[in-house]
A = this chain, B = another copy of it.
Amino acid sequence: MAASETLIDAESAAARIFRGATRIQHVSTDNRGLAYGDGLFETMRGAGGVLPWWERHWQRLQRGAGRLQLPLPPEALARSEAEQLLSGGDGVVKLLLTRGSGGRGYMPPPHAEPVWILSRHPLPPPTTTPVTVRWCRTRLSLQPALAGIKHCNRLEQVLARAEVGSGEAGGDGAAREGLMRSTDGDVVCATAANVLVLHGDRWSTPLVDRCGVEGTMRAWLLEQIPVQQRRLAVEDVETADALVLVNAVRGILQVGRLGDRSWAPHPALLALRRTLASAHPAFSLPPSGPGPMELS
């Protein structure tokens, strides 16, 4: 993994742009993704030149495209080009799908040709430190029409992530992720991860029917273990026996600290991560320990 990582330079991340099935050189200045965030995206972890969870990501993209009435690129082409970007190595591939150009103002064109971008990015640096998180002041608004899908209207996440900062300062400033509540006060997610809590032997995770994203790692977990989807209050998080962040790039991360509350590594987590490691090669556990804890 280390060897291939050196090939992936964030400063020169490979990117390819397409309109429909045709490779093009530039994104037009009237692209609707740029103008209105009129698009969807997927961020996929690749291993050894392949994207093991392509189907999960593509299915979510399809659901989002159905909701927004966005045209999709040809799947076989998108997958082949995405995996080519990995050059046989590990890394993260982002697929950004926009409605392309056209239309009159907000009105989408009746026959849009999708413009889509593939880009390769380095894996986040591994860390063995449990994650420190904090509560964000920025709330998520309630919008069932956009909930669950991974659309490109992400200013709420940008504002929330800016509150968290770089994680370099001490105290609460050491936080590297932020927990977000809805405008109604219920806990929804971290800025770039879904959240699970454990009480005794009962797992729960917030519903994503009014806001939040239906993460692919969250979906995988719901297939592996019994997890109740419900509204989660701040107290449900703060009284949990374990608090976990999950996403498709970082895998399964335990939270070590939230304000005054701290958590020791929980055995249930190690079991989950072993299951994940056997299901997805990118998350295989190194022989020396319980596997990397990564957070970008």
Q: Cβ of A164 and Cβ of B30 under 8 Å apart?
A: no
Q: How many residues of A contact B (CB 8 A)?
A: 54
The smallest C-beta distance from A199 to any residue of chain B, in angstroms, reads 29
A residues 52-68 touching B (CB-CB < 8 Å): 68
* Given A106-B158, A159-B68, also A15-B29 (CB < 8 A): yes
Q: Pick from B35, B143, B159: contact of A152, CB below 8 A.
A: B35
Contact assessment for A105 and B192 in the assembled complex, using a CB-CB cutoff below 8 Å: yes
> Which residues from 8 to 29 on chain A have a C-beta closer than 8 Å to any C-beta of chain B?
13, 15, 17, 26-27, 29
Contact status B31-A34, CB under 8 Å: yes
On whether the beta carbons of A145 and B156 are closer than 8 Å, the reply is yes
A102-124 interface code vs B (CB 8 A; 1 in, 0 out): 00111110100000010100000
Residues of B within 8 A of A37 (CB): 36-37, 152-155
Which B residues are CB-close (under 8 A) to A151?
155
Is A132 at the interface (CB under 8 A from chain B)?
no
Cα–Cα, bound, A176→B158 (Å): 34
Alpha-carbon separation in the docked complex, A17 to B27 (Å):
12
A166 at the interface (CB under 8 A from B): yes
CA distance A160 to B36 in the complex (A): 13
Question: In the complex, what residues of B have CB within 8 A of residue A296's CB?
Answer: 104-105
Q: A13-B30, A36-B155 are in contact. List 11 more A-B contacts (CB 8 A).
A: A26-B26, A27-B27, A36-B152, A37-B152, A68-B159, A106-B158, A106-B191, A108-B158, A142-B183, A145-B159, A146-B156
Closest 6 CB pairs of A and B: A37-B37, A141-B141, A153-B153, A36-B154, A106-B161, A141-B143
Binding site for B on A (CB under 8 A): 13, 15, 17, 26-27, 29-38, 41, 68-69, 96, 98, 104-108, 110, 117, 119, 138-139, 141-143, 145-146, 151-162, 164-166, 183, 191-192, 296
